[in-house]
C-alpha cells in the first residue's frame, strides 16, 4: 500500500488534498490512525473493521441500507446516496425516503443495488461505508467484494445482510444488522428499542389468532408483490409474514420461502377465500394485477372475486422490504379475515403508530395517495 492510500484511510479527502498541496504527505499513517480509527467491530461476515468511535459521515450502499440508517434515527450521518434516492419515482412506497427529502440533495456515490463508484466515494470521503450484501452471493464472494471496495477507497466497509421477517433465521439477520449499525452509529439503545417493538408486535398478532384451529383457518393469496420492480397478479410471497402471523393459510405456501411467480391456472385451482393485492402492482400499465382481475375471464370466476373479498394492501417491497408496511398490513388483513379477533383495532391508526415508531412520523397518507388510495380498501373488481 502506498503512503497516500494508507493515509487516506483516516483523513477526509478534502483535508488530504490540502495536505498534499502543502507537501505534508510524509506524516506517518500510524499517527493519523491513532486519531480516528479507535474502535474495531466485526461485521456480519466475520471481518474485523477498524472505524472511528463516533463517525460523523457515512454512506449506505445496497437495497434498503439507507432505510435501516433511518430506522435508527441516524439519517443525519448520511453524506451521499445511490441513484435511486435521486431519481424521480412514478410512485414511491419508501417511507424513509418520503420523510427525508434531503437525501435527494446529497452527492451521488454510485448506482442503486450496490453498484458503487469508488472514485465518487473517495470524493465524498465518508468515514464508513455500510453495505448490504447481495442475495444469493456466497460468503467468500461477499467478503471479497467488501475487501475490494475498502482497498479501492481506503475507507472501512461494514458488510451486512438485509434479512427479513419471514423466518426466524432471517429475522435474526435483520436484528443483527440493526444492532451492528446501532453500535457503529451510537444508536445501540434505539436498535434494541425497535427490535423489542417488532417482537412485541409480532407476538400480539400471533396471540390474537392462536386459538383458531386449522380447519377454521381461512385461505388467502397475495398478488402483485413487487420484486426488483412492479409485477402482476402472479407475483407472490409464499412465506408472506402477515398470513403467517395471522394464522391464514397461504395457498401459495408450498412454493417455498422466497419470492415466487405462479401460474394463473394455479391461482384459479387454489381458489382462495380472500385475495389481497399489493398496490405496488399499480406501477404497471393498466393497473397491473388489479387490472388483470378486472379483465381476465378466468380470474373472474374466483370465489374471492364473486364474494367481494378482494382487498388492497400497502406495498411489501420497494428497494427491499418496507417492514413498517408489512406489520401494518398484518393488522389490516387480520381485521378483514378474522374481524372478531381484531375488533379493537383501527388499521389506519395502527399503521400510523407502527410507521411513527419506525420512522419518527407516519407517511401513510402520502404513500396511499400515490397508489390511488387503494391500500386498506375493498377493491371493486
Residue that finishes a domain, picked among 151, 186, 221: 186
Q: Is residue 194 part of a domain?
A: no
pLDDT tens digits, residue range 277-317?
999 999 999 999 999 999 999 999 999 999 999 999 999 99
Residue 301 has what pLDDT? 94
The answer on 51 and 180 residing in a single domain is yes
CA 362 to chain centre: 16
The position carrying cell 467468500 is 140
* Pair 171, 289 in one domain: no
In a domain, 77, yes or no: yes
User: What secondary structure letter does DSSP report for 103?
Assistant: G
Q: What percent of the chain has pLDDT over 70?
A: 90
* Grid cell at residue 314: 400497502
Residues 60 and 29 in one domain: no
Residue 257: pLDDT band with limits 50, 70, 90: confident
Is residue 195, in this structure, part of any structural domain at all? no
* CA dist., res. 29 & res. 5, Å (int): 9
Residue 320 domain-assigned (yes or no): yes
Band (3; pLDDT cuts 50, 70, 90):
very low
In terms of domains, do 259 and 181 share one? Answer: no
219 and 352 fall within a common domain:
yes
Task: State the pLDDT at residue 36.
Answer: 54
Q: What is the CATH number of the domain that holds 47?
A: 3.40.50.1980
Grid cell at residue 278? 399489493
In a domain, 203, yes or no: no
pLDDT at 34: 40
In terms of domains, do 110 and 226 share one? no
State the average pLDDT over residues 137-162.
Answer: 96
- Do 123 and 27 reside in the same domain of the chain? no
Among residues 167, 186, 205, the one where a domain terminates is: 186
Sole residue written with cell 409485477: 231
Averaged over 95-112, what is the pLDDT?
97
Q: Which residues contact 254 (CB under 8 A, 6 or more apart)?
A: 238
- Do both 254 and 302 map to the same domain? yes
What mean pLDDT, rounded, does the chain reach?
90
Q: Is residue 208 part of a domain?
A: no
Count of the separate structural domains present in the chain: 3
* Each residue's pLDDT tens digit, 47-87: 999 999 999 999 999 999 999 999 999 999 999 999 999 99
Burial class (CB in 10 A: 0-12, 13-18, 19+), 149: buried
In a domain, 193, yes or no: no
The residues pairing with 61 across neighbouring beta strands, listed in sequence order, are 131
Characterise 190 by phi-psi region: left (phi > 0), alpha (psi -120 to 50), beta (else). alpha
When computed from its CA atoms, the radius of gyration of the chain, rounded to whole angstroms, is 23
Mean pLDDT of 160-185: 96
Are 32 and 46 in a shared domain?
no
Candidate from 95-109, 173-187, 257-271 with smallest mean pLDDT: 257-271
Going from the C-alpha of 346 to that of each of 146, 313, 333, the distances in angstroms are 45, 15, 12
Q: Is it the case that residue 264 has pLDDT exceeding 90? A: yes
Q: Which helix (H) or strand (E) holds 315?
A: none
- pLDDT (0 to 100) of residue 135: 83
| Residue 343, domain member (yes or no) | yes
Same domain, 154 and 254: no
Which of 23-37, 157-171, 237-251 is predicted with the least confidence, judged by mean pLDDT? Answer: 23-37
Residues 240 and 354 in one domain: yes
Which residue range is the domain that position 304 belongs to? 213-378
Q: Where are the alpha helices (DSSP H) in the chain?
A: 3-7, 13-22, 29-36, 65-71, 95-98, 118-124, 139-153, 168-185, 188-209, 241-245, 264-270, 288-295, 297-300, 303-306, 323-337, 347-359, 364-370
Contact 86, 104 (CB under 8 A): yes
Q: Give the chain's end-to-end CA distance (angstroms, integer).
A: 64
**What pLDDT, in 10s, does the model give residues 5-58?**
333 333 444 444 343 333 333 333 333 334 456 899 999 999 999 999 999 999
> From CA 42, how far away is CA 50, in angstroms rounded?
9
Residues 72 and 31 in one domain: no
Do 312 and 186 meet the contact criterion of CB atoms below 8 Å apart?
A: no
User: What is residue 256's predicted lDDT score, i.e. its pLDDT?
Assistant: 79
SS3 342: helix
Among 170, 186, 202, the domain boundary falls at: 186
d(CA 197, CA 141): 34
How far is CA 64 from its chain centroid?
4
Amino acid at each position: 500500500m502506498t503512503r497516500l492510500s494508507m493515509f487516506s484511510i483516516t483523513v477526509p479527502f478534502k483535508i488530504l488534498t490540502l495536505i498534499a498541496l502543502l507537501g505534508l504527505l510524509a506524516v506517518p499513517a500510524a499517527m493519523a490512525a491513532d486519531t480516528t480509527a479507535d474502535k474495531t467491530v466485526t461485521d456480519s461476515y466475520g471481518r474485523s473493521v477498524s472505524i472511528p468511535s463516533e463517525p460523523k459521515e457515512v454512506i449506505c450502499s445496497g437495497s434498503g441500507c439507507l432505510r435501516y440508517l433511518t430506522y435508527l434515527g441516524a439519517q443525519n450521518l448520511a453524506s451521499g446516496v445511490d441513484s435511486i434516492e435521486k431519481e424521480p419515482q412514478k410512485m414511491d412506497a419508501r417511507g424513509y425516503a418520503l420523510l427525508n427529502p434531503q437525501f435527494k440533495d446529497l452527492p451521488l456515490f454510485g448506482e442503486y443495488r450496490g453498484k458503487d463508484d469508488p472514485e465518487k466515494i473517495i470524493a465524498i470521503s465518508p468515514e464508513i461505508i455500510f453495505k448490504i450484501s447481495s442475495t444469493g452471493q456466497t460468503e467468500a464472494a461477499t467478503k471479497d467484494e467488501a475487501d475490494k471496495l475498502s482497498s479501492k477507497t481506503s475507507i472501512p466497509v461494514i458488510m451486512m445482510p438485509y434479512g427479513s421477517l419471514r423466518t426466524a433465521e432471517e429475522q435474526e439477520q435483520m436484528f443483527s444488522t440493526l444492532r451492528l449499525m446501532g453500535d457503529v452509529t451510537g444508536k445501540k439503545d434505539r436498535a434494541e428499542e425497535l427490535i423489542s417493538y417488532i417482537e412485541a408486535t409480532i407476538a400480539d398478532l400471533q396471540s390474537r389468532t392462536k386459538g383458531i384451529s386449522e380447519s377454521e383457518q381461512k385461505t388467502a393469496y397475495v398478488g402483485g408483490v413487487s420484486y426488483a420492480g412492479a409485477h402482476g397478479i402472479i407475483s407472490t410471497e409464499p412465506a408472506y409474514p402477515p398470513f403467517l402471523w395471522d394464522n391464514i393459510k397461504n395457498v401459495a405456501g408450498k412454493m417455498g420461502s422466497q419470492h415466487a411467480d405462479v401460474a394463473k391456472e394455479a391461482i384459479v385451482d387454489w381458489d382462495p377465500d380472500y385475495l389481497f393485492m399489493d398496490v405496488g402492482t399499480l406501477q404497471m400499465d393498466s393497473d397491473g394485477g388489479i387490472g388483470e382481475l378486472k379483465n381476465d375471464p378466468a380470474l373472474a370466476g374466483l370465489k374471492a372475486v364473486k364474494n367481494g373479498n378482494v382487498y388492497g394492501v400497502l406495498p411489501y417491497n420497494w428497494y427491499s422490504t418496507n417492514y413498517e408496511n408489512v406489520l401494518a398490513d398484518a393488522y389490516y388483513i387480520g381485521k378483514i379475515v378474522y374481524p372478531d379477533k381484531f375488533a379493537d383495532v383501527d388499521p389506519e391508526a395502527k399503521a400510523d403508530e407502527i410507521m411513527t415508531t419506525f420512522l419518527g412520523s407516519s407517511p401513510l397518507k402520502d404513500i396511499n395517495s400515490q397508489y390511488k388510495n387503494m391500500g386498506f380498501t375493498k377493491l371493486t373488481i
